[in-house]
Structures are given as C-alpha cells and as structure tokens.
Amino acid sequence: MAKEYHSESLHIIRNIVIPVNIIINVLGIIGALIIITVMRQSEFRSKPRSLIYISLSVIDLLFCVFLLADKICFLVYGEALAIIGVIACQIDRFFTHFLVHMDAWLLIILTVERVVAIVKPLEVSTIVTRSKVKVTVIAMAIFFLTLDGELSASSGLANGPTHLQIQNKTMPLICTRVNHYNISPKIFSFMDIGGLLLGSFIPFLIIFILNVVLSAKLIKRKQARANLGATGSGIQNEAGKITRMVMVASFGFILMTAPIVIYLILGNHDKNDPIHMILRLIFQMNPAANFYIYFLSGSLFRQEVKRLFCI
C-alpha cells in the first residue's frame, strides 16, 4: 500500500515538474536571445561588461537547450538522457558540470566589474577593458573544458545503490565515474569534491562577499549624497541601477542553487525523490531567470528592451 502511494505521488509530481520545466526552459531560451540582441544593438554594446552579459547569456541559452533536450528525451524514452547510453551519459556529465561552472564564474566576473565600477568609478574604463574581459572568459572556458572534459571521459553507466534498491530489490543504472584505469578512488573523490566546490560553495562565498562590499558602498554613497543634499550625477545613478540589477541576479543564483547542493551533500542522490525533483526544478530555473531578473530589477535594461521592440 505504501509502495503504491509512493508511486502515485511520484507520478503526480513528475507530471507537474516536467511540463513546468519545459515551459521554464523555453522562456529561458527566449530571454537569453533577447539579452544577446539587446547587448549587441543597444548603447550597452560599447561597454566591456556587455561581453560578460553576452557570454553569460550564451551559457544560459545552451543550458536551457540542454535541459529541454533532457526533458524531451524523458518524454520519448521514459528515461533521463544520462542513462540512455554511455555516450549520452558522458554528454550529460560534461554539459551539466561545464555549464554550471561557467554560469557561476561569469556571474562572479560580472559582480567583480560592478565592484570596480563602484569603488573606483574613474578608473573602471582602464581596469576593465574589452581585451581583459575576452582573455579572462577564454582562459576560464579552457580551464573548465579541461576539468569537465576529464570528468566526461571517465564517466559511464554502472549499477548504483539508492533507497529504491532496498525497497524494490533492484540495482538501477546511474551515470557516474567508471574507473577504467585503476586510478585511486581517492583521486576521483578529490576531483569530484573540487568540481563541486568550484560550482557551488566557492562561488557562493565570493558572490556573498562581493555583494556585502557593494551594499556597503552603495549605502555609504547614498548617505554622503543625502548629507550634501545632492541627488548624484547621471553616471552615478546609472552605475547604481546596473549594480543593483547584478546584485539581484547574483543573490538569485545563490537562492536557486544552494538548496539542491546542500540536499546532495546530505546524501540525497535519488532523482526519484519528490524533494530532490522539486529542488532540481528550482535549480534549473537559474539559467532561465536572468532575463526576467534584469527586466524586473534593471530600469536601464528594461528601457533598452522596450526600445528594441518599439524599433
């Protein structure tokens, strides 16, 4: 009876989560394309930070397309992309980790640019240049391509224990590390922990610290203007608006990513667990959310979007 109830509740949750996930990813694809168009055709185009926005939007676009393909694969085959076959497992592992890493660290670069713009507004044009941004993004992409390429190459399908094994006496296939070359498991464990830290806790910590610095600087600047009875120049107001938009996006990344990371660290790896499915859905909202966060929290970005569609 309990098993039937669990199966029924799982079926109901899955029937809700999958359509919602598809809708979110389609909206995310549309949003990412709009961001790329705005950054290439508006006044933002001349700014070095536009390269960061475009890079982040390309990653979000790829992420949403990948997640959409995963859900379509489930609807067609009844299984997630990761366990359709060995090649599919390796593709899934690579894109899942590479896109998460790039998304997190591009957001860090964007936040760092805002810190420089607020702390040293007169020097930001020389500190943050288009060439420096290009080199940084390319170097970061090469690093994560190497790191996550190795993870993909050493992945494969294996029988993995979950709580379902105990309940149903089954050994379901999982996409995981496969030790083809008798490498020490400790090395694999160390590399997996490093990948997890680079995609979650380290970005969380850096983004939180940078946002604390930004918040303190914005409050201090607002108090200084109030004491002088001034409202601030147009450039200062623009910098403040863009900074607040980036801060909302970076905090959104933490709020949508942290729950599933903590849940996984606690040992809850069963993707058929309803809580896991809901937290995974929240996490997968992150790459789709940036356009809507920018639009709702950034008046300058909102103006550019309206101008684009009016034209």
**Of 192, 213, 103, 100, the residue nearest 150 (C-alpha):** 192
Could you tell me if 136 and 109 are in contact, meaning their C-beta atoms sit under 8 angstroms apart? yes
Fold of 2-310: Rhopdopsin 7-helix transmembrane proteins (1.20.1070)
pLDDT tens per residue, the chain (311 residues)? 444 445 666 667 777 888 889 999 999 999 999 999 988 876 667 788 889 999 999 999 999 999 999 888 888 887 778 788 888 888 988 999 999 999 999 999 999 998 998 888 888 888 889 899 999 999 999 999 999 998 888 888 877 654 344 444 455 677 888 766 666 667 777 777 888 888 888 999 999 999 998 888 888 887 877 776 655 545 556 677 788 888 888 889 999 999 888 888 887 767 777 888 888 889 989 999 999 998 888 788 888 888 878 75
DSSP classification of residue 154: T
Phi and psi torsions of 239, nearest 5°:
-60, -40
248/254 Cα distance (integer angstroms): 10
83/91 Cα distance (integer angstroms): 11
Residue 162 structure tokens: 């979950």
Q: What is the DSSP string of 173-234?
A: EEEEE--TT---HHHHHHHHHHHHHHHTHHHHHHHHHHHHHHHHHHHHHHHHHHHHT----H
